[in-house]
């Protein structure tokens, strides 16, 4: 129960934080479009949870309403909707899974190619008594397998000091790097770390800064399977703001996950968590964000 309580607190914090490091006022949708964005997010989630033949038309109408108000907002909305349709609504979307006996063999069958401008972004998971959980170790095992299969690529480990009973303030990213170098034999020079993130939204903001700083143009998210699409939705939205602000942004290429049972039932509602965090990223007013929470 303590772990669940901590997660819920972190989730509330994620929804309360402003998730942009790319000029705060540029990440806020105009007030006139807030209702349109809320309707879009609700329709995206409903299309996944209770699909009907009218979903596509409803989403297209939402996008048209946003475009009629502001083209800049439409750029963000189009990016969110296109990615959501690809990862949540397209039944043929491939998920590449890590296997202990074959490593990253499945990922080698994807479109991904070895490159020094590519990175595997390893998302953290809450520490237990200041130590890595088995789930976090498995994410690192998957990342190590990917690093061996694509030897020119880099790794980015993201995650701050989390969990109860962590007086030494061990960070997820710091412990992940130590595990990858000491237990998996990955060269430390290939690993960048973000030790500040406490939520998936923080992961995304800080990761984009690291990727842009090192000239990395594409990345693959490495996480648990139940977290993959949720994580991608957040990263894609932050990437859209980054692209709108700077004119360039690293792009998501493929995915790589470990298959594990979620520790908490709330994790199974990944689409709901995703739209709530998207509402926060978009800067929707609190009353509208609250309505999204209860819409489905």
Residue range 118-128, pLDDT digits in tens: 999 999 999 99
128-179 pLDDT, tens digit each: 999 999 999 999 999 999 999 999 999 999 999 998 999 999 999 999 999 9
Would you state the pLDDT for residue 119?
Answer: 98
Q: Which residue has better confidence, 278 or 263?
A: 278
Confidence of residue 32 (pLDDT cuts 50, 70, 90): confident
* Mean predicted confidence (pLDDT) in 233-243: 95
pLDDT at 239 over 60: yes
Terminal Cα distance for the chain, rounded: 25
Q: Is the confidence at residue 271, as pLDDT, over 90?
A: yes
pLDDT of 51 above 50: yes
Look at residue 29 in the predicted model and tell me its pLDDT: 67
Is the pLDDT at 14 greater than 60? The verdict is no
pLDDT band at 15 (very low <50, low <70, confident <90, very high): very low
pLDDT exceeds 50 at position 3? no
pLDDT of residue 28: 57
78 by Cβ neighbours in 10 Å (0-12 / 13-18 / 19+) ranks as middle
CA 175 and chain centroid, separation? 20
Would you place residue 201 in the very low, low, confident or very high pLDDT band (cuts 50, 70, 90)? Answer: confident
The pLDDT score that the predictor gives to residue 177 is 98
Which percentage of the chain shows pLDDT scores above 90?
Answer: 79
pLDDT tens digits along 57-105: 999 999 999 999 999 999 999 999 999 999 999 999 999 999 999 999 9
Domains along the chain? 2-92+274-293 (no CATH), 105-263 (3.40.50.620)
């Amino acid at each position: 129960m303590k772990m669940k309580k901590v997660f819920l607190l972190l989730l509330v914090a994620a929804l309360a934080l402003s998730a942009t490091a790319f000029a705060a006022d540029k990440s806020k949708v105009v007030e006139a479009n807030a209702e349109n964005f809320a309707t879009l997010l609700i329709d995206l989630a409903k299309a996944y949870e209770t699909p009907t033949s009218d979903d596509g038309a409803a989403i297209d109408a939402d996008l048209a309403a946003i475009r009629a108000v502001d083209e800049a907002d439409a750029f963000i909305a189009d990016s969110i909707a296109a990615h959501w349709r690809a990862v949540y609504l397209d039944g043929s979307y491939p998920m590449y899974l890590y296997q202990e006996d074959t490593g990253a063999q499945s990922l080698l069958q994807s479109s991904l190619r070895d490159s020094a401008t590519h990175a595997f972004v390893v998302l953290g998971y809450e520490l237990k008594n200041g130590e890595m959980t088995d789930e976090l170790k498995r994410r690192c095992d998957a990342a190590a397998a990917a690093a061996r299969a694509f030897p020119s690529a880099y790794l980015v480990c993201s995650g701050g000091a989390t969990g109860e009973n962590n007086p030494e303030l061990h960070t997820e990213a710091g412990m992940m790097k130590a595990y990858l170098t000491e237990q998996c034999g990955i060269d430390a020079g290939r690993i960048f770390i973000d030790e500040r993130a406490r939520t998936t939204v923080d992961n995304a903001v800080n990761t984009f800064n690291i990727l842009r700083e090192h000239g990395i143009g594409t990345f693959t998210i490495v996480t648990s399977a139940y977290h993959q699409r949720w994580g991608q939705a957040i990263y894609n939205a932050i990437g859209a703001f980054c692209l709108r602000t700077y004119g360039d942004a690293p792009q998501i290429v493929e995915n790589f996950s470990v298959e594990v049972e979620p520790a908490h039932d709330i994790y199974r509602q990944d689409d709901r968590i995703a739209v709530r965090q998207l509402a926060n990223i978009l800067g929707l007013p609190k009353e509208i964000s609250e309505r999204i929470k209860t819409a489905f």
